[in-house]
Chains A and B, each alone.
Chain A
Amino acid sequence: MTHDKTSAAVAAFDSAPAAGQLWAICWASWSRRDFLLMLGMIPLTPALRLAFHGRESLLSRKPALFAKKVSGVAPTGQCSAEA
């Protein structure tokens, strides 16, 4: 895939609900007959991790300080930070 297509695929994946992400991983793994791939991909996204572990029991819901809502295009991946 070209870079643009890869980015679009990643963006679509990231924006899917947890069930959709799980389906995509299962499909990719089945199509490539690679179940290790599936096991390796499950922890990739926070959404899936939260779905599997149950966020209520594991994570605090304390609102973070120094956070503000901004408009604009969401980045792909976890963070658009310039390190």
Chain B
Amino acid sequence: MPRSDVFLCELCPKNCRIREGQSGDCKVRIVIDGELRAVTYGRPCAVHVDPIEKKPLFHVMPGSRIFSLATAGCNLHCKFCQNWTISQAAPEDIRNVPLSPHRVVESATSQKCRSIAYTYTEPVVFYEYVLDTAALARQAGLLNVSVTAGYINREPLERLCDVVDASNTDLKGFSDAFYRELCEASLKPVLDGMITMKERGVWLEITNLVIPTFNDDLDMIRRMCKWILAYLGPETPLHFSRFYPMYKVRNLPPTPMDTLMRAREVALEIGLQYVYVGNVLGTEGESTFCPSDGTLLIRRMGFSVLENHLLNDACPTCGRKVPGLWGFRDT
């Protein structure tokens, strides 16, 4: 094997060793001219204004608009990825637009967005872009939201927590085998990362995509909920999301509604207080209820907020405070 300068990328637990002209596993950190470079910095491949419910974040400024962007690349390779056309692409292979951090913040403000989401692919791999944009966004009074698989080393995560206000973290399954076989990653760093975010004051919501036969076992779901209860607390919102056939997993049907509703029941029985069902329309699992007296607090349909009865961030009936970053409402 040839000997040459090798760079160790310590951003994520893959700890890639990369040499000149090569990229890390994420495809977007490449050694060029003797330096490891974040080649998608300032070059997003997707830029949209979304409802914040789409992230999903149900306890952060409900009904508000969130400026959302992504660059190519991901450090996971989930066989069921819903955004694989951009997450699994190399940056040269898809269309990118130049958009500096300043322009992102200007655009978000002019689009009347209250927050910026680093989403669609994996913000960990465009880490430097997130850091710079988030710092400017915070100065402009915008919240920063990371929608992530949470596969990142502790030190970079801690630095990220200084500028990120909220995160929806994908907990893809509650077994290391699942992560290794379907995502080319491992479970422990994700769990450790969520604990770190919680400790550092980042508002955390969790999404679990329920895939038939892969991670829909109720025992696994029960163990996951117990872990969330023990380490992140009962007030951590959990979203069970419906799977649709995608990418390399096209041989399975969409998640049956019964499975999602049973998963929600299990989570509520274990003691989690805010459990939602996503990627489906018209169930009570889309709405927020007071854990004390069952009062309907926020009624949602898809990505729309139909009713918001929160009064000073609390249940209007019993006065129980509901955790979240409620801030202001556009509804």
Closest Cβ–Cβ distance, residue A24 to chain B (whole Å): 15
Binding site for A on B (CB under 8 A): 1-11, 14-19, 21-25, 27, 29-30, 32-33, 35-43, 90-93, 96, 127-129, 131, 153, 155-156, 180, 184-186
Interchain residue pairs with CB less than 8 A apart (28):
A14-B22, A45-B21, A46-B22, A49-B92, A58-B92, A58-B96, A59-B37, A59-B39, A59-B92, A60-B42, A63-B38, A64-B35, A65-B11, A66-B9, A66-B127, A68-B10, A69-B8, A70-B6, A70-B17, A71-B6, A75-B1, A76-B1, A79-B17, A79-B25, A80-B17, A81-B14, A81-B16, A83-B186
Q: B16: which A residues are within 8 A, CB to CB?
A: 78-81
Asked whether B32 lies within 8 Å of A61 as measured between CB atoms, the reply is yes
Whether A83 touches B41, Cβ cut-off 8 Å, given contacts A62-B128, A64-B11, A64-B36, is no
Instruction: Give bound CA distance, A49 to B24, whole Å.
Output: 15
How far in angstroms is the closest Cβ of chain A from B81? Answer: 15
The answer for the CA separation of A80 and B91 in the assembled complex, in Å, is 21
B23 touches A78 (CB 8 A): yes
Q: Is A36 an interface residue (CB 8 A)?
A: no
**CA A17 to CA B232, docked complex, whole Å:** 50
Q: A60, B41: Cβ atoms under 8 Å?
A: yes
Can you list, as one digit per residue, whether each of A38-80 has a CB less than 8 Å from chain B (1) or not (0)?
0000010111011001010011111111111111111110111
- Contact yes or no, B7 A65, CB < 8 A: no
B188 to chain A, nearest CB (A): 12
B19 contacts A62, C-beta separation under 8 Å? no
A43's nearest neighbour on chain B, judged by CB, is B93
Chain B residue at smallest Cβ distance from A52: B92
Closest to A10 in B: B1
State the A residues within 8 Å of B (CB). 7-8, 11-12, 14-15, 18, 43, 45-47, 49-50, 53, 55, 58-76, 78-83
B90's closest neighbor in chain A, by CB?
A49
Q: Are B38 and A64 in contact (CB under 8 A)?
A: yes
A55-B39, A67-B35 provided; 6 other pairs, C-beta below 8 A? Answer: A12-B2, A15-B2, A64-B127, A67-B9, A81-B14, A83-B14
Contacts of A53 in B (CB 8 A): 92
**If the complex has contacts A15-B2, A60-B39, are A66 and B155 also in contact, measured as CB distance less than 8 A?**
yes
- Give B128 Cβ to nearest chain A Cβ, in Å: 6
Given known pairs A64-B9, A66-B156, the reply for A81 and B32 (CB within 8 Å) is: no
Contact yes or no, A78 B25, CB < 8 A: yes
A74 touches B17 (CB 8 A): yes
Whether A81 pairs with B41 at a CB distance below 8 angstroms is: no
Q: Are A62 and B37 interface neighbours, CB within 8 A? A: yes
Residue of A with least CB distance to B30: A46
Is the pair A69, B6 in contact by a Cβ cutoff of 8 Å? yes
Q: In the bound complex, what is the Cα–Cα distance between A38 and B133 (angstroms)? A: 40
Report B-chain residues with C-beta under 8 Å of the C-beta of A61.
Answer: 32-33, 37, 39
> Which chain B positions have C-beta within 8 A of A79?
14, 16-18, 22-25
B40 and A60 contacting across the interface, CB-CB below 8 Å = yes
CB distance from A62 to the nearest CB of B (A): 4
Most A Cβ at <10 Å: residue of B33, B39, B96? B39
Q: Contacts of B129 on A, CB cut-off 8 Å?
A: 62
Report how far A58 CA is from B185 CA in the complex, Å: 28
Q: How far is the CA of A7 from the CA of B8 in the complex (A)?
A: 21
Nearest neighbor of B40 in chain A, beta-carbon distance: A60
Determine the distance from Cα of A27 to Cα of B262 in the docked complex, in whole angstroms.
Answer: 58
Give the top 5 A-B pairs by smallest Cβ distance, nearest first.
Answer: A81-B14, A62-B41, A67-B36, A47-B21, A59-B39
